Amino acid sequence: MKRWYVLGFAAGLVAVGAWLVSIPARDASAPSAEPVSVDEGEAPAGPAPAPMPAPAPPPPKQAPPPAAPPAESYTLSTEIMLEFSENAAGFTPGQPADITVRMEYSGDGPVTALGLMQDLPPGWAYQEAVGGDRPVVAPKPGTRGEITFAWIQPPVFPFVFTFRAVPDAAAAAPAPLRAQAVFRKTGGELRSAPAETVLRPATAPPPAN
């Protein structure tokens, strides 16, 4: 009887082994039929949300317009009269030319301060004071454009003052001159009427009458 029991147990082992072999092995790469749960706090896969646009910077503040320069405060006066002495010889380009101004005073009371504003022609440069009642304050040699002279103690009127200027070598056109006296008495600043003239090149023909 033990023999049949042993033979039956062995046959059962063989049958179980055959059944195990017949079961196909599970492919680890195959997808699982069971749904995969999403962990809490983990967002599902999908397109990222578009970033919020940055706020536009405020427009820059415009600076206020510059303030207008203060108007000059002076009074025109006929008490001082200016005139240029005639230079019949004319000027030669590149060569020094002397310019003489005559100043007369017809007012009452003493002049306590006196100056002269002189506009040089384009292309001309101041050189030096050369004659007459020379001012205490004068421009530097080589100054162009507007030049200024000043007398600390005004000379006795009438008087003349001569200064020298040099035109450029190419300055062949007629040269306009303009001057104006600046003075004080007991009040504010006074200015004379401007004096004007034209210097002509020595080689230029005289203007037709």
d(C-alpha 164, C-alpha 72), whole Å? 29
Which two three-digit tokens encode residue 17? Answer: 């082994």
Residue matched to tokens 């005639």: 86
Q: What is the pLDDT of residue 150?
A: 97
Q: pLDDT per residue over 73-126, tens digit each?
A: 889 999 999 999 977 678 999 999 999 999 999 999 999 999 999 999 999 999
Write down the pTM of the prediction: 0.63
In angstroms, the Cα distances linking 175 to 118, 124, 146, 159, 165 are 13, 9, 14, 24, 12
Residue 47 contacts by C-beta under 8 Å, 6 or more apart in sequence?
A: none
Kindly list the structural domains of the chain, giving each domain's residue range(s) and its CATH number in brackets, ordered by start.
Answer: 75-195 (2.60.40.1510)
Q: pLDDT per residue over 170-195, tens digit each?
A: 888 899 999 999 999 988 999 999 99
The percent helix, strand, coil of the chain (3-state, each to 5) is 10, 35, 55
